[in-house]
Structure 1
């Protein structure tokens, strides 16, 4: 009887052990589920179903991630991101990121550091560094970690590559709803800006110029942009479009005299350079109608390690209200700015940005 009982007990224990092993194996299988996504370079990348650890490297990569995922899951950042948070709301609003391990130097001209990335054990690497499939594959082969290429595209704002990147981030970290909300916010702002100004007759549109735009550093009034995306969205008559160029361009100051714009905007990042030049060449500046009539206004710098989309949108509404006041009379810039910053990074940072760079408004060079 005892032998029979012992045998029965052994069988039960054996069956239970098989059951437990089976459960354990199934649990590992479930936790190890994978999915395949296609990145911005058209690469098919196999990733974990539940990504928990992330690094985002290259100009703007961390910013786009934070817009969708906040600071959660980030396990390391580039040294460049730690150096100076000024002008970068995504860092200002998430100062805890500064204490994370360094995963490379960062910056526009420094390649990724595979060893430092591997050290923080990310599940995925988002990168804006990779310009082609080979470059992305090379980093993936060196680290053994899935590399997902994202992009800002070619324009400073309202580029569809940004929307695709935001949605891709959402898909990877299972925050597709938030990603769609961010894309919708950007697209709705674009539609609002365009709708407010679309029906203004050409003869009623003032001529406008923007100077002192940052381009791999700070510059004076000669630094501008053709097809400037903020102006384009507002249907503004951008005199720099006459250069036939898209994006950053340095003009001859005499060209500015020839154009003689009705309104001039100065990026606050280059304001001091303009002020110094004004003190040396006052006669030149005072020959311009915009300076003579007091129609010179500021713009917050928004290109720091690629585009701060939130600040760019704040500028767009301010520019619209300045050039077409009757079309934006319902917009309170401070309220609009705080809504924008809070949506993108979770904090109201308009006062902080103005404290760091100067106020949005009319400029007096004297």
Structure 2
């Protein structure tokens, strides 16, 4: 009997050791990230062998739809204005399996395509463009795990596309003004969670937000009446426009607290003004969106008296801005435009900023490559403009 009790006691002790050992082994696997899905924190879920181990999860997209998606998605497509750009910011271009024809054939204006030219070699998944409709057959042909889409569909159309293709459709958004907006941040976070790069998405969001804080802090406390009056013209709206095309609450000006004369209208967004209004505003500094610069220059040659009546033209205070709205907002260029405008309008507050170097820093962080020189080839870059010369 005594022997049996010793054996039973010893067996129980061994069993306890085994249980504790197994528990510690399980804890170690979770801590080292060898098992379990880590996509919620931005890490790719992997098995003990190092293979991707996707899990079906439910995400809520920007129109409030709950979508079941295998996370992290390995094969993705991004259609509609701005969708591919957000994937590029989130470092997901290696997962892209096809792009829109518009992204291939229109060579200018989109830094993400300069940074990732290899995307042009991928299969075509539709026409692309603001007024296009998704090409279901082309999308199916590349067998994506998920379709990211912005602007082309509403809630009902997204459901219809998902039902027809059998592929999860996740709707993204840039928000109403399509620049520095909570919807942009939510979309970036969503892309990161779906493809397993949430940490990178958070880094991008934080970078943009910190840049905005930096811009605002530099001019904080300057009274409006102590600021020069500024105007930006030739902003593109469904094509190139002339000097009359402007924007109230122009984001690069808002970021630096500039005194935008167009804000006096009490409106926000794109505006077409009468020339007489620009004369009455008579801004101290004039910015020209270089997408429409050739149109403004041609107009200045035809109507020199009008331009010579403007204080900014007479005083040589006309500057070029790189257009940032192309297939919706290039957030990188918009940030760079804000720093350049700050340097021009408030030079004493931006003494430490070299606009070109800052622009390259922004492109390098958001896209991994400095592409300012390629934008210069297309538009001209940050420089003074002369509207008095033929």
TM-score, normalised with respect to structure 2: 0.85
Shift of 1:355: 2.1
Match of 1:225 in 2: 247
The partner residue of 1:57 within 79, 83, 89 is 79
Q: 2: CA distance between counterparts of 1:70 and 1:49? A: 13
Q: 2: CA distance between counterparts of 1:129 and 1:80? A: 15
1:311 aligned onto 2:333: yes
1:204-219 equivalence runs, <5 A: 204-219=226-241
Match of 1:155 in 2: 177
1:74 aligned onto 2:99: no
1:1-366 equivalence runs, <5 A: 31=53, 33-365=55-387, 366=389
Match of 1:16 in 2: none
Shift of 1:164: 0.5
Q: 2: CA distance between counterparts of 1:253 and 1:64? A: 37
Structure 1: state its 5+ residue gaps.
1-26
Match of 2:22 in 1: none
Shift of 1:253: 0.7
Structure 2: state its 5+ residue gaps.
1-48
Does the 8 Å CA contact 2:240/2:292 hold for their aligned counterparts? yes
Q: 1: CA distance between counterparts of 2:151 and 2:381? A: 34
Shift of 1:351: 1.6
Shift of 1:260: 0.5
Q: Which runs of 4+ in 1 moved over 6 A?
A: none
Shift of 1:337: 1.1
SS at match of 1:169: helix
Shift of 1:133: 1.4
Aligned residue-pair number: 338
Shift of 1:135: 1.4
Match of 2:34 in 1: none
TM-score, normalised with respect to structure 1: 0.90
Does the 8 Å CA contact 2:115/2:367 hold for their aligned counterparts? yes
Shift of 1:70: 3.7
CA shift in 2, pair 1:184/1:159, >3 Å: same
Q: Residues 47-80 of structure 1: CA distance to partner in whole angstroms, max 9, x if unpaired?
A: 1133100000000000011110242110000001
SS at match of 2:95: coil
Does the 8 Å CA contact 1:130/1:149 hold for their aligned counterparts? no
Does the 8 Å CA contact 1:76/1:102 hold for their aligned counterparts? yes
Does the 8 Å CA contact 1:69/1:173 hold for their aligned counterparts? no
> What do you get for the CA RMSD once the two structures are aligned?
1.3
CA shift in 2, pair 1:60/1:314, >3 Å: same
